[in-house]
Structure 1
Amino acid sequence: MAHTPQVKIPATYLRGGTSKGVFFRLQDLPERCQVPGPARDKLFMRVIGSPDPYSAHIDGMGSATSSTSKCVILSKSSQPDHDVDYLYGQIAIDKAFVDWSGNCGNLSTGAGAFAIHAGLVDPARIPDNGTCMVRIWQANIGKTIIAHVPVTNGQVQETGDFELDGVTFPAAEIVLEFLDPSDDGEEGSALFPTGNLIDELEVPGIGVLKATMIAAGIPTVFVNAEEIGYTGAELREAINTDPEALARFEAIRVAGALRMGLIKSAEEAATRQHTPKIAFVAPAKDYHTASGKEVKAGEIDLLVRALSMGKLHHAMMGTCAVAIGTAAAIPGTLVNLAAGGGEREAVRFGHPSGTLRVGAEARRVNGDWSVTKAVMSRSARILMEGWVRVPGDAF
């Protein structure tokens, strides 16, 4: 019986923010995987260990959560005044599917650090000591991200005292700027695709809900926690162990996707699991995080819980944080009202693992709202580097 040997591919396993992913340089991929298509998708699924009916990812690099089922490709940028092109794939856990429809804000941090590690940034732009401004072209959504990466002795500084809730150990702080993060692609030309700050969203099986639907960072549907029977202080177990609750959230997500024009039929939602996100908000109140730490109402502006790939996230997706910060900056959205209303340039919200501060610059242009920039701090660290191995007939 013939046996197909494994092939080995240079790769780096890297934490960025509260996510982990397998990072590749484009030129290191097998030739047929250097272009979009089935071969690339099959390779990434096999690297992560999907599809896995056991939802365990025992035979791959994933960890069976949406936060750890990710692959990234970086290459020297094809865009003027940028250093690298960054392409992100969200791999489904139990289905044979790679979603390329959005970005990962957490791994955007890793993209900045990896660009320097991988020799993709002009050495002349890297200081011996200080901060390197890595200009990233986010190829999935066609947007610019600026990562301010600390450098010591010409190398990325990874250790430090910056603490990020949802990450166990401190590390060096990387500041991210998401420039013009609203969606102006083919699927919409407005920050608010429906034209409204708040909509009445008809959800089959649930009824009419108030919703703010925004396309900033990542398309996101916000609803009030109270209106769907929650306090906003829930932890993962309260949602993820309740199949009926997850089905309701998926119904809300699908209704929002249709209303935002992201899909043309409900059936399409199955092939677009990464976007839009669904999040619920509530006014600030005391609560305990997943680690048992108490967060006081006075320490935050509001509570937010968000779902990713059908499950409540253990902390907060970076791109969803951009949506939160942008919506909070615009008076009259559900996020802004939960934070107390009024104009604001930054917001600190409570999530299941702690708190996060995100800033946004929003303004009216010819009567329509636009956002010029969103800013937040994350960290990144290489966990392992070398090669990943996959069976040669897997892709």
Structure 2
Amino acid sequence: MTHKPQIRIPATYMRGGTSKGVFFRLQDLPDAAQMPGAARDALLLRVIGSPDPYGKQIDGMGGATSSTSKAVIIDKSSKPDHDVDYLFGQVSIDKPFVDWSGNCGNLSAAVGPFAISAGLVDASRIPRDGVAIVRIWQANIGKTIIAHVPMTDGAVQETGDFELDGVTFPAAEVQLEFMDPAAEEEGAGGSMFPTGNLVDDLEVPGVGTLQATMINAGIPTIFVNADAIGYTGTELQDAINGDEKALAMFETIRAHGALRMGLIRHLDEIATRQHTPKIAFVAKPADYVSSSGKPIKAGDVDLLVRAMSMGKLHHAMMGTAAVAIGTAAAIPGTLVNLAAGGGEREAVRFGHPSGILRVGAEAALVGGEWAVKKAVMSRSARVLMEGWVRVGAV
């Protein structure tokens, strides 16, 4: 019997923020996978090790969590005043599909470093020492991200003393600016608040009528109050991820929120849209102990936030959801803003399962509608492995 050999594709395995993913240059992919479609999806599924009925992704590069089942494709940008195009794929762990409906804010921190090292940024724009400004076109949602990448002796600086809760070791700080972060989702009319309200009464069968802030910023996100669904906002992963009834409740809320936001037309469509929208719950500050054992004091944060990703409670906070949190916190009257004490603010510190994160955003009323020029946060990134990824028949 004749066996086809595996193909090998140049790739880089990177951590960005609290996520990990496999990064590719577009031109390094097989010809059929250089275009969107079934061939590309099949390749990335095989690279990551999905679909895996065991839920472990043993036969691929994935780590069997929403934070580690990711792929990124980078190319030189054809957009004016941009350096690279960044396309993100959230790879389902147990189902045969790749969700292209949103961005990954954490891996956004690795895009600039990868692009520089891969020769995709014009050399004239890269200082030998200092900070390189990489202008990124986020192709999933059609937005601009500005990455501030530290450079030392002509190379991307990866080591440093910047600490990020949810990441074990310190590294160099990469500041990200998410420009005009209100997402222009299909069906949402390009509005930051697709229902037209800062807070809605969301009717969820089997759960009840919940107050909800539904926002398109960074990533479409549904915020509800923790106490309305029986939580305190201090929960860690074990309190929720082993509770099938709770997971089903969150998915039901997410589906009905997505319908109200215009992201889906029928409730059954949510099964093929795992990445967006996100659902999160908020609470006023309280003392708790993070997943690493670090005490978090109520006085150290403005509010508490817990967010679901790919059907599970996230171990820290998705970067795009952090943008949504910062944006909503800056707008008086949203549930996020009220949990943080109300009023106007340009930055917020929130507690998540792994610790604390600060994100800044400036909001203003323009023509009767809220607008945010940019959201800013810091992450770190580094190369974990580089070379070739091997893939069998797809």
**1:117 aligned to 2:117?**
yes
Partner of 1:68, secondary structure, is coil
CA distance in 2: counterparts of 1:208 and 1:280, whole angstroms? 15
Cα distance in structure 2, aligned partners of 1:387 and 1:94: 24
TM-score, normalised to structure 2, is: 0.99
Match of 1:241 in 2: 242
Q: Deviations 1:96-131 (Å, cap 9, x if unpaired)?
A: 010000000000001111010110000000001000
Q: CA deviation at 1:184?
A: 2.8
Match in the other structure for 1:90: 90
Q: Give the residue type in structure 2 aligned to 1:244.
A: K
* Corresponding residue of 1:282: 283
Question: 1:361 deviation in Å?
Answer: 1.2
Q: Is it true that 1:216 corresponds to 2:217 in the alignment?
A: yes
Structure 1 moving runs of 4+ over 3 Å:
none
Q: Distance in 2 between matches of 1:88 and 1:359?
A: 24
Matched residue type, 1:365? V
> Contact 2:264 / 2:270 at 8 angstroms: preserved in 1?
yes
State the distance in 2 between where 1:238 and 1:293 align. 17
- Matches of residues 215-364 of structure 1 in structure 2 within 5 Å? 215-364=216-365
Shift of 1:185: 4.4
Matches within 5 A, 1:373-384: 373-384=374-385
Task: Please report how far the alpha carbon of residue 2 of structure 1 lies from its aligned counterpart in structure 2 after TM superposition.
Answer: 1.8
1:207 CA displacement: 1.1
Q: What is the CA-CA distance between 1:84 and the residue it aligns to?
A: 0.1
Structure 1: how far apart are the matches of 2:206 and 2:116? 50
Q: Secondary structure at the match of 2:67?
A: helix
How far apart are the structure 1 equivalents of 2:112 and 2:223? 29
Matched position secondary structure for 1:214: strand
TM-score normalised by L of structure 1: 0.99
Q: What amino acid maps onto 2:44 in structure 1? A: F
Aligned partners of 1:372, 1:132: CA distance in 2, in Å?
22
Q: Deviations over 1:250-289 (max 9, x none)?
A: 0000000000000000111011110000000000010000
Question: Identical aligned pairs, as a percentage?
Answer: 75
1-side partners of 2:187 and 2:27: how far apart?
Answer: 31
> Please, what is the CA RMSD of the aligned residues?
0.6
Shift of 1:186: 3.2
Helix, strand or coil for the counterpart of 1:67? coil
1:195 is matched with 196
Contact 2:283 2:305 in 1 (8 A): yes
Q: Distance in 1 between matches of 2:241 and 2:183?
A: 29
Matches of 1:150 and 1:32, distance apart in 2: 35
Q: Structure 1 residues 185 and 278 mapped into 2: Cα distance closer, same or farther (>3 Å)?
A: closer
Alpha-carbon contact 2:186-2:262 (below 8 Å) kept: no
Q: Any stretches of 5+ residues in structure 1 without a counterpart? A: none
Corresponding position of 2:15: 15
Equivalent runs, 1:116-195 vs 2, <5 Å? 116-188=116-188, 189-195=190-196
